[in-house]
Amino acid sequence: RVKRVWPDAVAVTVRERTVAATVLVGEALYIVDPDGEIFERHPEGKPLSTVLITGIAEEQVLSSRVLVEEELRRILQFLDRYEKMGLMAAASVGEIHRETGGGLVVYTRTEAREICFGKGQYIRKLKNLRLLLERLRKEKREWEYILLDSDSTPDRMIVKLR
């Protein structure tokens, strides 16, 4: 930001952006800040160091950037809750996919295991997931996918074991 300071000076304020995630829009990767703003193209060939967000259509970005930023903020808030509840140790997030209806699907960083959350009641579903993962760890059970996607019965969990 540049501001003129009377009588004969200019003040320049530089704010470095924080990278919160990477989003796939069409065929290109972009960097997203914590406010959900897409601000820079991800350098080609550079490995990802953040969670990848998918399911955002190029047409959405072109037609309604404000709504896309709102949606990205919602996804980042979900990711923040996921991290704060200590779930990254048990199921580290590699990708969050936004489904057409707005539901969220997490793919784990290792083995790309799928956790479907559906749309809404995320705190309750995250608490249930934490309890489930703790139980599976104690029982030394491996899982393939977990479904927490019922909005009418958010306590329902379906687990495919290995």
pLDDT tens by residue, 71-102: 999 999 999 999 999 999 999 999 999 999 99
Which has the higher per-residue pLDDT, 144 or 43? 144
E strands present in the chain: 2-5, 9-12, 21-25, 28-32, 38-41, 52-56, 93-98, 104-108, 114-118, 143-147, 158-161
- Average pLDDT over all residues of the chain: 92
103: nearest Cα among 117, 123, 121, 88 = 117
Are the C-beta atoms of 56 and 24 separated by less than 8 Å? yes
The rounded distance, in Å, linking the Cα atoms of 157 and 159 is 6
The Cα–Cα gap between 66 and 71 comes to 9
Residue 1 pLDDT exceeds 80: no
C-alpha dihedral sign at 97, 99, 102, 104: negative
pLDDT at position 59 over 90: no
Q: What pLDDT is recorded for position 85?
A: 95
The pLDDT, as a whole number, for residue 103 is 95
How many CB atoms lie under 10 A from the CB of residue 5?
Answer: 8
The span from the CA of 51 to the CA of 49, in Å, is 7
Cβ pair 10, 2 in contact under 8 A: yes
Assess whether pLDDT exceeds 90 at residue 4: no
Over residues 129-149, the mean pLDDT reads 96
- The answer, yes or no, to whether the previous bond of 34 is cis (omega within 30 of 0) is no
